[in-house]
Amino acid sequence: MRDLNQYLQCRSGHWHYVRRVPVCYTQWDTRGVIRTALRTTSIEVARSRRDSLCEADEHFWASLEASLDDVDGELKLGSQSKVRARYKAACGRAMARGFVYTPANELAQTPELSDLIERIMQVGNKTKNKQQEAEALLGGANMPKVKLSTAFKVYCDRIAIGEVVNKSDAQKKAWKKAKLRAVNNFIKIVGDIHMDSLERTHARQFYNWWGKRLLPKDGKQGLNPNSANRDLGNLRKLYREYWEYEGQEERQNPFRKLRFKDKSIAETPPFPDKWVQSKILRPNVFDGLNNEARLLVYGLIETGCRPSEIANLLPENICLNHEVPHIKIKPHMERELKSMASNRVIPLVGISLEAFKKAPDGFPHYRDKSALLSASLMKAFRVRGLMPSGGHKIYSFRHSFEKRMLEAGLDYGLRCLLMGHKNNRPSYGDGGSLEYRQNELLKIAHPISKVLIQNL
């Protein structure tokens, strides 16, 4: 960590950046002691400009170290790393002088001649490093050409770190898979073009390709617009955040407002109460299914949780010794929730309470394995004839839970809290005590037989 005023010297009230070139780079960087006027009497401004110069110099030295090829005592830089090092250094040096780096062709077209004249004068006043100053202030450093595939790697490795830092391995894989699909689809149709060459015509070409795939063909229904919109949205975000990272926020996004109208999709139907009681809560119906999967199904019925939420419960969030037994759906360092509203506490009643008594440590076999869980349960339900229709899924338990709460007249705010939904109404209080929530859930709990409990 840099000292607050490191590399800063004050002369006659004006601040300067003063730094010695590290010994390991003196063979190729002959500046010796770097002395640069920061053109300010403000220590805050000086620190900011010092940071920009430090970043520029360190980018340059890092590129030397990374690209060093000791052949006959000469330093050889790969063309891409050399261009990037020069460009980064020019951007930082221009910022330190109080200017925004602008390519020479754009400077030539600027109507503000005063800005251009001041830049030229600044270069003319320098007795050292005139070439570097000219590149920085007059836009002489070419921006490196970066292909879409490379930009995507930069996005994943550097830009989007905050998005994935608290995701589990499976969540990270799913996050990257969706975005990589969009990039690969674009490259397949348009090509792996350079980011600075990507234009509206390319985005429209990709949009039109998706449009054809959405149309019915040979009597078969076209693909869902959600898939197309997901690709377009991921590319739109990649383009925007990559250029923001490069400091060029003003670039117009070629994927802007390209979106297909969403097709109405039939909602997943809930399990009818009579079906649950006569079919799913029948003793021995899950004989042959592994114990964790069987108990996990029962854990879903009276909690309304998403299957992944139950599967990823940690032992410390299963509280059976409390006066009101409950589970806590909480994020942790290696797994995030779907939304902030998903963070909630749910009392355990009925068959779900009995199931967790048999699984106080949760379900480690299915932890961070949502795809395995879904496949296992769907197969188990189908072979046993436990799906009322082809549209029913394991997620139907969640819809059934919400429907039962609605029909029993449970408070809207409590329903939102227990489901993990955002409540758009003004919030007063904490949603009620655990005892209150428990009593409300007991109103909708399915009756269970002693035989079923004994067979758990």
The token pair at 223 is 């693909």
What's the confidence (pLDDT) of residue 115?
66
What's the CATH number for 273-455? Answer: 1.10.443
Q: Pick out the chain residues at pLDDT < 50.
A: 1, 66-79
Q: How far is Cα 180 from Cα 159, in angstroms, rounded to an integer?
A: 15
What's the confidence (pLDDT) of residue 120?
67
Strands 326-329 and 318-319 come out as: antiparallel
Strand runs (DSSP E) across 314-451, as ranges?
318-319, 326-329, 344-347
Q: How far is Cα 170 from Cα 377, in angstroms, rounded to an integer?
A: 19
Place of tokens 């450093």: 141
pLDDT 10s digits, 226-261: 999 999 999 999 999 998 887 778 889 999 999 998
The token pair at 222 is 């076209």
Are the beta carbons of 362 and 314 closer than 8 angstroms?
yes
Angle, vertex CA 364, rays to CA 360 and CA 369, nearest 5? 135
The runs of H, that is alpha helices, within 68-146 are 79-96, 104-107, 113-124, 130-138
Indicate the helix (H) or strand (E) that contains 398.
helix 396-407
Burial class (CB in 10 A: 0-12, 13-18, 19+), 135: buried
Contact residues for 275 (Cβ-Cβ < 8 A; gap 6+): 388
What's the confidence (pLDDT) of residue 333?
65
Are the beta carbons of 319 and 325 closer than 8 angstroms?
yes
Q: How far is Cα 227 from Cα 232, in angstroms, rounded to an integer?
A: 9
Angle, vertex CA 432, rays to CA 431 and CA 433, nearest 5? 135
What's the confidence (pLDDT) of residue 249?
81
Per residue, the 3-state secondary structure of 139-155, as one string, reads CCCCCCCCEHHHHHHHH
Place of tokens 């227990």: 418
What's the confidence (pLDDT) of residue 456?
83
Q: How far is Cα 201 from Cα 456, in angstroms, rounded to an integer?
A: 61
Nearest to 411 by CA among 441, 375, 453: 441
3-state secondary structure of 319: strand
The domains of the chain are located at 8-138, 148-245, 273-455
Nearest to 253 by CA among 271, 265, 238, 267: 238
Strands 33-37 and 14-20 come out as: antiparallel
3-state secondary structure of 390: coil
3-state secondary structure of 10: strand
The token pair at 354 is 């009995």
Are the beta carbons of 304 and 419 closer than 8 angstroms?
yes
Side chain identity at residue 95, one-letter code: M
At how many degrees (to 10) do helices 113-124 and 130-138 cross?
170
Distances (CA, A) of 77 to 56, 61, 104, 150, 328: 17, 12, 24, 19, 55
Per residue, the 3-state secondary structure of 215-268, as one string, reads CCECCECCCCHHHHHHHHHHHHHHHHHHHHHCCCCCCCCCCCCCCCCCCCCCCC
